[in-house]
């Protein structure tokens, strides 16, 4: 499945060589979609307000258990079409910054990694 290609440095749309909005295809498109799902705030998707991570209600300003955060990232990854299984690894949890990666398996059996 194709998706709009996002510039990794600013996480915004980018153009292709012809000046059109760039598209990403598989396998990168799935990794980008998983990473986007991890960055989506609960309620942010206008027509599907049940998608996203409860950053404002249960994470930001709180001290949630690490397992809760991992479960939320995995749940978000599993909303991406073609993702059958996911595992989350949080590498940094200092001050107010969380970084890590989601390793996921697609329906064709390949394994990929998406950072957040």
What pLDDT is recorded for position 93? 83
pLDDT band at 116 (very low <50, low <70, confident <90, very high): confident
Helix and strand tally (H, E) in the chain?
2, 7
How would you list the strands of the sheet with 83-94, edge to edge? 83-94, 97-106, 111-115
pLDDT of residue 11: 86
pLDDT at 31: 94
Angle between helices 28-39 and 66-77 (to 10 degrees): 130
Confidence of residue 8 (pLDDT cuts 50, 70, 90): confident
Domains of the chain: 3-13+22-115 (3.10.450.40)
Q: What is the mean pLDDT of residues 31-46?
A: 94
User: For residues 23 and 60, which has the higher predicted lDDT (pLDDT)?
Assistant: 23
In angstroms, the CA 57 to CA 76 distance is: 16
Write out pLDDT tens, residues 58-97: 998 888 999 999 999 999 999 999 999 999 999 988 877 8
pLDDT, mean over the chain: 93
């Amino acid at each position: 499945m194709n998706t709009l290609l996002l510039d990794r440095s600013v996480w915004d749309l980018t153009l292709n060589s012809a000046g059109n909005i760039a598209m990403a295809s598989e396998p990168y498109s799935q990794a980008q979609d998983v990473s986007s799902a991890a960055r989506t705030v609960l309620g942010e998707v206008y027509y599907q307000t049940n998608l996203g991570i409860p950053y404002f209600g249960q994470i930001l300003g709180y001290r949630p258990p690490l397992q809760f955060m991992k479960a939320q990232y995995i749940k978000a990854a599993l909303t991406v079409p073609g993702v059958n299984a996911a595992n989350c690894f949080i590498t940094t949890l200092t001050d107010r910054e969380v970084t890590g990666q989601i390793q996921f398996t697609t329906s064709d059996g390949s394994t990929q990694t998406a950072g957040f």
